[in-house]
Amino acid sequence: MLNQRSVVTRFSIRFSVIMLSAALCWLSCSTGDKQVPLKLSFSTTNYEAPGGPTFVSIVDLNADGHLDLAVSIWAQRSVAVMFNNGNGTFSEPAYHQCGQRPYCVAAGDLNGDGVADLFTANYSGVDMSVLINDGQGGFEPAREKRTQQATRYVQSADLNGDGHTDVAAANTGDNSLSVFYNLGDGTLDEGRNIPLEDSPRSFFPGDLDSDGDLDLAVALSSRGTRPKLIVMFNDGAGHFTVEGDYPVGAHAWTVIAADLNEDGHLDLANTNYSGLDISVLLNDGQGHFTVDEHYQTLRGPRHLCAVDLNKDDRLDLAIASWHAGQCEVLLNQGQGRFQTAGHYPTGKMSSCVASGDLDGDGLDDLVVTNADGNTITILKNTSTR
């Protein structure tokens, strides 16, 4: 026969289990089935990169399953390739010559051999460079493709839906985009220029109107004009027409496309270099956008990327700030609303930020180029529960 103390003890245990289950249920409901976010933290490592590192692409270049770095070196007419040692540390850079003053470097498999090739936008060379990977992270001598004046930005993507990687470049000097289609044999055609009404600082390919092909979002800005983003819809064959025009902040610089409010459609975010803020534009699902919010940033927001840094299944924003020499993180609070979570020192004139899981621990890390500091900063994600 149970005594009174045993009955009370068992009742207390059952009541505690019920309350714990209720608490877990409430937590699950209150987070909308999202993961409980990690407490954000980073550790910092700097690598020397003489000559002005301006841009970084994170990609496996030697097919070993680890993410490597390709960095454009402004004053050295080169791309620095740094191989991952397998643990998120990197080898000494190997330099590969390209055109004059490469501002941006992009990666894509041009010849279909399963490894990434490299492309640089050469600001002083009126061209872009194509560097073909030998399959082990070495590169053939660069081949130049003529663009137009002051080529600042380059991206690769299948723009005409034929299954091959094409390349586009933004020319700030003559207000145009140059588009090069892959001939199917790993070479590019002679290209065509798309005139724009203002100077393109950057662009981003993505399916903005949910029709299955890649459109372009372009950041336009020059002195004395109204900064804005334009949306160029793809007809499916790689021909583009401007279908949207959205005012943003002063000196619009970098634009990206990502699903920021978790509705299955690509939204836009851009840095406003002189406006000291970023703009977030939400997609209605058909490629039309509403300027949802402006978020104040550190001085000189230059570049940004979208990445889930705290493992809550929402895309956050990391911003490289040119004048501040820091990387700023804005955490997504849900529905595409953001809150500043931290500022992380990097180096002088931070020009680009990119993300990837460098050490294979399941957390995305950040890499920042510091153009005047001649360094590359690795921000290893050390976030915990």
Distance, in Å, from the CA atom of 227 to the CA atom of 219, rounded to the nearest integer, reads 8
Mean pLDDT within 56-81: 98
Q: Are 276 and 247 in contact (CB under 8 A)?
A: no
Evaluate if residue 191 carries a pLDDT over 90.
yes
Is 34 a residue whose pLDDT tops 80? no
Mean predicted confidence (pLDDT) in 70-94: 97
Q: Is the pLDDT of residue 120 over 80?
A: yes
Question: Mean of the per-residue pLDDT values for the chain?
Answer: 92
Q: Which of 283, 279, 271 is nearest to 324 (CA)?
A: 271
Q: Which residues contact 363 (CB under 8 A, 6 or more apart)?
A: 38, 309, 311, 357, 381, 382, 383
Q: Which residue has the higher pLDDT, 268 or 26?
A: 268
Q: What is the mean pLDDT of residues 12-29?
A: 44
**Three-state secondary structure string covering the chain:** CCCHHHHHHHHHHHHHHHHHHHHHHHHHHHCCCCCCCCECCEEEEEEECCCCEEEEEEECCCCCCCCEEEEEEHHHCEEEEECECCCCCECCCEEEECCCCEEEEEEECCCCCCCCEEEEEECCCCEEEEECECCCCCECCCEEEECCCCEEEEEEECCCCCCCCEEEEEECCCCEEEEECECCCCCECCCEEEECCCCEEEEEEECCCCCCCCEEEEEECCCCCCCEEEEEEECCCCCEEEEEEEECCCCEEEEEEECCCCCCCCEEEEEECCCCEEEEEEECCCCCEEEEEEEECCCCEEEEEEECCCCCCCCEEEEEECCCCEEEEEEEEECCEEEEEEEEECCCCEEEEEEECCCCCCCCEEEEEECCCCEEEEEEECCEC
> What number of other Cβ atoms are within 10 A of residue 101's Cβ?
22
Average pLDDT over residues 137-164: 97
CA angle 132, 135, 141 (to 5 degrees): 30
pLDDT band at 125 (very low <50, low <70, confident <90, very high): confident
Residue 31 has pLDDT above 50, yes or no: no
Would the pLDDT of 24 be above 60? no
Answer yes or no: are the C-beta atoms of 120 and 128 closer than 8 Å.
yes
Given a cut of 70, is residue 317 above it in pLDDT? yes
Question: Residue 357 above 70 pLDDT?
Answer: yes
Q: Which tokens belong to 157?
A: 């993507």
Write the CA distances from 70 to 15, 37, 114, 251, integer angstroms. 58, 31, 17, 27
pLDDT at 22 (0 to 100): 46
pTM: 0.91
- State yes or no: pLDDT of 310 exceeds 90: yes
What is the spatial distance between Cα 179 and Cα 322, in angstroms, rounded to a whole number?
29
Name the percent of the chain lying above pLDDT 90. 88
Strand partners, 295: 278
Q: Please write the tens of the pLDDT for every residue from 201-259.
A: 999 999 999 999 999 999 999 776 789 999 999 999 999 999 999 999 999 999 999 99
Region for residue 177 given its phi and psi (left: phi exceeds 0; alpha: psi -120 to 50; beta: otherwise): beta
pLDDT number for residue 5? 44
Which value, to the nearest 10 degrees, does the dihedral of the CA atoms of residues 144, 241, 305, 95 take?
Answer: 0
At 111, the pLDDT band (50, 70, 90 cuts) reads very high
pLDDT, tens only, 94-104 = 999 999 999 99
User: What is the structure's pLDDT at 46?
Assistant: 98
Q: Which residue has the higher pLDDT, 234 or 5?
A: 234
pLDDT of residue 21: 46
pLDDT in tens, 280-307: 999 999 999 999 899 999 999 999 999 9
